[in-house]
Amino acid sequence: EAGVAQSPRYKIIEKRQSVAFWCNPISGHATLYWYQQILGQGPKLLIQFQNNGVVDDSQLPKDRFSAERLKGVDSTLKIQPAKLEDSAVYLCASSAGGAVKNIQYFGAGTRLSVL
């Protein structure tokens, strides 16, 4: 079974530029998550989708971050404009459904450096 696919693996941009990350979840997984992980910290949930609807985006900085999940399959996370503090690993995860005992499967992540 194919895992969660993310691209690109690495991205280096200058502050105030824009960047986009792509995620393709495990086939059939209804729930998709985007996390930001800063070095030395745990993953912080940015947004959670159930199919193509948003379950939670309370920690998404909406003035600069946006995400969409068209057709309830793959998803894109965008940052515009980027700030130095956005340097982090952006992880995408998926799980099979909306049940409480969801197990998440993670992609390899995109490592973003903002200069």
Site residues, other proteins (CB under 8 A) = 33, 35, 40-45, 48, 55-56, 58, 91, 98-109
- Cα dihedral angle (29, 31, 34, 38), rounded to 10 degrees? -90
Shortest spacing between CB 3 and other proteins, in angstroms: 9
Residue nearer to other proteins on the CB measure, 17 or 50: 50
Contact assessment for residue 84 and residue 38, using Cβ atoms and an 8 Å cutoff: no
Residue nearer to other proteins on the CB measure, 37 or 66: 37
Shortest spacing between CB 15 and other proteins, in angstroms: 24
**Would you mind telling me the total number of residues written for the chain in this entry?**
115
Residue nearer to other proteins on the CB measure, 65 or 90: 90
Q: Which helix (H) or strand (E) holds 98?
A: none
User: Phi, psi at residue 71, to the nearest 5°?
Assistant: 65, 10
Shortest spacing between CB 40 and other proteins, in angstroms: 8
Alpha-carbon gap, residue 69 to 86, rounded angstroms: 21
